[in-house]
Structure 1
Amino acid sequence: MPDLQQKALLIHDRLCAEYGCPIPYFHDLDPLSELVSSLLSHRTRNADSGRAFKQLVKQFPTWEAVRDAPTQEVEWAIAACTWAEQKAPRIQQVLRLIGERRDGDLSLDFLADLSVPEARAWLESLPGVGPKTSAAVLSFSRLRLPALPVDSHHHRVAIRLGLIPANVAVGPAHALLEAQLPKEWTAQQIYDNHESLMLHGQKCCYYKNPACDRCVVLDLCPFGRSLANS
């Protein structure tokens, strides 16, 4: 059995072959817009958070307008997502804090001039921003920085494959999984790693009744082998 990093790279190569790397980026948002989009996505289906984001930018011409609007109007605009009543004041709070910390400049473009650890630390100092959101902002936005997001599908697949222990939550999983990847990898390679593991969770390694019979990494999967032997 290969060591953990070798195993992670073998899994990456097979899943990339299965899902067609390099995988195109699904967003081309500026980093502040990506942050708002990510905050809306918490505990929400992608289709619903996407609708909420589109309605928000349709209703308000700038992020300054969102920040300064009556909170209830923001809540109505994002009604398609879960917990809109909590997310509306949180988004406004985050926008105010960014403006205060950046001398009135409501933009996150400056993150491009920081190292990835510095940029993640800056983002995670904002309320409601954890490792998943900070990585998503850096990776998915047009900054295209090498940060590894871990969503619930990615997390489930990584546990089943034995890349992380079963008792590691999504937040701490980010550092463990990112440490298994080569430091010289490009942002595209890091993004491909996330996307291929996530897609595998969506298309094969389901939460219930995973399709182990057609899994391209079954021989590397303790969970799948245990099902086959049960």
Structure 2
Amino acid sequence: MNKPDALREFALLVHERLCAAYGCPIPYFHDLDPLSELVSSMLSHRTTNRSSGQAFRELRRRFVTWDAVRDAPTEQVQEAIAPCTWPEQKAPRIQQVLRDVTARRGELSLDFLAQMPVPEARAWLESLTGVGPKTSAAVLLFSRLRMPALPVDSHHHRVAARLGLLPHGVPVGPAHRLLEALLPPEWDAQQVYDHHEALMLHGQKCCFFRNPACARCPVLDLCPTGQARLNPSPAPPDLFG
């Protein structure tokens, strides 16, 4: 078996273990239309789910439509999203994205993305100001579109890096393409969602940024980082060689 195939097999074994640990299939936490999911995802950058959720709900309470958000004075949008981090940056970015969608499509809707292959839909989204791979994947996977695109947040990335699913030092952005390539191409949205959620939950509940709980990790026997922490020894083999 060559190294790429071995890495894919390893990724599937990690997936199976973590899905068993965290109870897959995992229910979707959102049922938003894709444009609403885009705004929600932009609000979530570098902030807690609680704060971004509060900001999103207040935005929807104050403004009846996304057209109203687009056309409102920026200060009013900033006030509405104050619970999230950097509202002074996010307010104008959200309004610019809403203007861009309107200019390109003639309406404020992203429902048309359902008719596009995932790579094309992601490329269209990432051509918008301030939209990167995590946001494009979140829009496609988390919204009602339910398209199999893999988001990678900081927890997911940390777990994947410690397990050796990524080459050393690869940042979150480029990690999207590498980690998605490890998944079976026939997987549907629920399977991709379970994979993301299981790795994310593991990062939140066990594989902490500081002092990971390696002793109770369900994939400790697969994790070179955890084994090295608990049993210091010569460096384990690198799957990327």
Shorter-chain TM-score: which interval?
over 0.9
Provide the C-alpha distance between the structure 2 equivalents of 1:209 and 1:124, rounded to a whole number of angstroms: 35
Q: In the alignment, which of 148, 166, 171 is matched to residue 169 of structure 1?
A: 171
Counterpart of 2:225 in structure 1 is 223
The one-letter code of the counterpart of 2:179 is L
Q: Deviation string for 1:171-203 (max 9, x for gaps)?
A: 000000000000001110000000000000001
TM-score (norm 1): 0.98
Distance 1:216 1:75 in 2: 43
Structure 1 residue 59 corresponds to structure 2 residue 62: yes
Alignment partner of 1:15 out of 12, 18, 34? 18
- TM-score, structure 2 normalization: 0.94
Give CA-to-partner distance per residue, 1:133-155, whole Å, 9 cap, x none. 00000000010000000000000
2:83 corresponds to:
80
1:102 aligned partner: 105
Equivalent of residue 181 in structure 1, options 183, 186, 210: 183
Alignment of 1:127-138 (within 5 A): 127-138=129-140
- The corresponding residue for 2:121 is 119
- Matched residues, number: 229
Measured in 1, the distance between the counterparts of 2:211 and 2:169 equals 21
2:96 paired with 1:93: yes
Cα distance in 2 for residues equivalent to 1:113 and 1:72: 36
Structure 1's unaligned 5+ residue stretches are none
Query: Secondary structure of the equivalent of 1:37?
Result: helix
Query: Could you list the runs of 4 or more consecutive aligned residues of structure 1 that deviate by over 2 angstroms after TM superposition?
Result: none
1:165 offset after TM fit, Å?
A: 1.6
Q: In the alignment, which residue of structure 2 is the partner of 1:145?
A: 147
- Determine the structure 2 residue equivalent to 1:48: 51
Could you tell me how far apart the structure 2 residues matched to 1:222 and 1:211 are? 14
1:166 Cα deviation (Å)? Answer: 2.6
Counterpart of 1:62, as a letter, is T
Q: CA-to-partner distance for each residue in 1:115-146, whole Å, 9 max, x for gaps?
A: 00000000000011000000000000010000
Partner of 2:212: 210
- Structure 1 position 3, deviation (Å): 1.3
Q: How large is the RMSD of aligned CA atoms in angstroms?
A: 1.0
Match of 1:155 in 2: 157
Q: Which runs of 5+ in 2 are unaligned?
A: 233-241
Percent of residue pairs identical: 73
